[in-house]
Amino acid sequence: MDCHCGTNAELQALLKARKQKAELIMLDCLSSDTPGLWGTVRRISEFHDSKQYIALFNYISDQPVGNDLVRLGVRGVFYEDDSIVKIAKGIQAILNGELWFSRETLMKYLTDSSETSKLNQDATGFLTIREKEILVMIASGGSNSQIADDLGISPNTVKTHIYNIYSKIKVPNRLQAALWAAKNF
């Protein structure tokens, strides 16, 4: 797997030059202005690629992590005072499909009443049994290839199911689908 670190401008240049998406993009919060950083996160998240992971590092400890970041698909935050051991552990967790946020950040996001009102809670009745099964696997951190292997179906079939799930529950990405599943199952 590829992992790329750099400033906002360096990463944008990398994405343009390679014309492909890196699997893990770590954005340095100290080397970028806040609006520029959020704009970069938005541009990267527009790719909607299930292998596209975004993490922030050198995040200021007393600055709250906004719900917008989680909603845009940021998979983890590393604070400026985190040890290299903690960062390495978090990177490995993210590459394994997990999230790397403080419990406080995740609880705030999950309990935010404005987020709850945006979710289409009636969609569970519209999901097929297979879609529900795949959604549970997504919520538990399963990759497309793991899901395909576990269910004995092709990765393309998994992608089709995931596309249908996103449409039915009205979410733009894997993280949102996992959060939706956590609230509705």
pLDDT in tens, 93-137: 888 777 888 777 776 766 664 444 444 555 556 899 999 999 988
pLDDT in tens, 74-101: 888 898 889 999 999 999 888 877 788 8
Domain range list for the chain: 3-113, 119-184
Residue range 57-78: average pLDDT? 77
pTM of this prediction?
0.52
Residue 59 backbone phi and psi in degrees, to 5: -75, 140
Distance (Å, rounded) from C-alpha 134 to C-alpha 180? 13
Largest Cα separation within the chain, whole Å, is 46
Which residues touch 33 (CB under 8 Å, ≥6 apart)? Answer: none
Which CATH number is 3-113 given? 3.40.50.2300
**Fold (CATH) for 119-184:** Arc Repressor Mutant, subunit A (1.10.10)
